Structure formats: structure tokens, C-alpha cells
Amino acid sequence: MENQERYKKLNKYLKEKFGERTLKICIDGGFTCPNRDGLLSTNGCIFCSERGSGEHIKSSQSISSISENIKLQVQNYFKSYKAERANKFIAYFQNFTNTYDSIENLKLKYDSALIDDRIVVLAVATRPDCINEEICKLLNSYKDKVYVWVELGLQTSNESTGKFINRGYSNSSFTQAVSLLNKYHIDIISHIMVGLPNENLDDIKNTISFLNKHNIQGLKIHSTYVIENTELANLYKKGAYAPITLEYYFEATAYILSHISPNIIIHKISGDAPKDLLIAPEWNSHKKWIMNGIEKYLKDNDLYQGKYY
């Protein structure tokens, strides 16, 4: 496999699908989360900051501001990527739970993201317990205009860990959400995390076994990092949580890739912590170390996606 990629990378998949480079525009649509607004909890997951993921994305407090922020980001891409300008973009609703609202408001927000035909993907990050039939019907209605995918946090299949990290939903919620989205042929990208408190490689193995029983189309692999103003930061400062080593992350990620279905598109192989908020591990701020290290680990051990699927 000297000259072949060892796992299916998102950039290549999108280039093949759309015929050219396709870039992601991250959107804070002004959503909240049932794990934040008091429906389930007010604390959120222990690793989640006050802004959810995408801590530095400009918040969009109105429908019109979503469109304006997207237009601004498109303009900025044109300035930043002069060597190879992108003409196609992903509208990615990232922060918090982007299906947690009325159907009417969801439609207004999703509609506002489709500023013109340069937006070729509508991507929506959410929780499994915030997927229902009506939401699936709404998402399905966009499929004749754009490619639609939904990102579902799983993080782990260990129910005890799920409770410890205050995830707020069970594995069965994930299974039900996948089943509903499958019914409408909406692509699913699952999130899993390496290095959660009290977990080891056996937990990773169980999570991948669990995922392989579901019809998903993409995977994001996140390293667990500690950032300011989170419950995980409190645990870390009290000595109750120790981050994983970079070497362990290579081993765990290689296991995931070599045991996951070879048909799944790998959207990410590391979490990107905001550097000004990162407490630990220090290696998380060196993306090239992580990317190059995983590639080397796979090559040195003759591993590739789906080898042991």
C-alpha cells in the first residue's frame, strides 16, 4: 500500500463527489442544548465549553446574521486561498444541538444558510435524542438541492462512561436515531472520543464493535482534551483525570481505522482544541504531529482502514 491512502479521507471524497475542492463553513446558529437549558441538565457534557464546539465561531443571533456570516466566510476563503480558490462549500451547523428547535425555526435557519448554489452540503451536528420523524422529513426536503449529512455524537458505547460524562442519552437513543435517518437515506457521521475518563483500549474496541452494527456513512475520531471552564478541567486540576499520551492516541486511532467498515468516510482523526483555552494534553495543539504520527503508525504496522473489519 505504499502509494495508496490508508483510510478514506473526506477531502478526497468531496473532490470526487463535487469535482473540485469543497471547503467547510462553520456556523453557530444560536441553538442551545437540552443538556444545557435545564431539560436534561444545566451542566452539559463534562468536556463541553460554554460555547459548545466551535468556541471561536461568531454567534448568529438572527436568521439574517446566519446568511451574512456565511457570505463573510466565503469572502475570507477567497482571500486566504488565492492559489486554489474554492467555489463549493459546506454549510456546517456546529455549535450545540442544531436540531433542537421548532420545525419552523429549523427551516428558517437551514434556508438562510443556502445563500446560493456554491453551498453544496448542508451538515447538521446534533444529539441522537434530538432526532425525530418531523426533523428527518425536514432534512430530507433539502436533498434535491444539496447533499445532506447529520452528525451524531456517540462518544462511547460504554453506558457507565456516558453517565459519567453527563452525555444525557443512552445507546438505544443512538440506535433509534440511526434507524430514523436511515429510513430517509440521510447520511450519518458519528463522533467518538479517545481518552474519556476511566476508559481504555477495551472500551474503544467495544465502541467500534457497536458502531459496526449500525449503517453509518462517516466517522469523526476526537482526542479528549481539557479546556478552560469545563467540568473536565476541574477533574484535571484535582488530579482526578489524566489525559492520554500521544503514543496511546496513535495506537487507539489505528485500532479504530483498521476495524471500522472500509466503506465509511473518515471526516476527522483528531479533535482541534482552541489553543488559547487548551489546558492539556499539550500535544493536542500540534496537528501535524498527530496527522503525521498516525500515518507513520499505520504504515509501520501495515494497517489500513477495514483490514480487520
In this predicted model, which residue has the larger pLDDT, 124 or 84?
Answer: 124
**pLDDT single digits (tens) 134-191:** 999 999 999 999 999 999 999 999 999 999 999 999 999 999 999 999 999 999 999 9
- In a domain, residue 219? The reply is yes
- In a domain, residue 2? The reply is no
Confidence (pLDDT) at 68: 87
Q: How many distinct structural domains can be found in the chain?
A: 1
- In a domain, residue 296? The reply is yes
- In a domain, residue 1? The reply is no
- In a domain, residue 306? The reply is no
- Using 50, 70 and 90 to split pLDDT, how confident is the model at 83? very low
Nearest to 205 by CA among 155, 157, 163: 157
- In a domain, residue 5? The reply is no
Q: What is the CATH number of the domain that holds 263?
A: 3.20.20.70
Confidence (pLDDT) at 222: 95
Confidence (pLDDT) at 254: 98
Confidence (pLDDT) at 56: 46
Distance of alpha carbon 61 from alpha carbon 235, whole angstroms = 32
- In a domain, residue 266? The reply is yes
**pLDDT higher than threshold 70 for residue 193:** yes
Confidence (pLDDT) at 64: 77
Confidence (pLDDT) at 36: 87
- In a domain, residue 57? The reply is yes
- Using 50, 70 and 90 to split pLDDT, how confident is the model at 304? very high
Domain that holds residue 126: 10-300
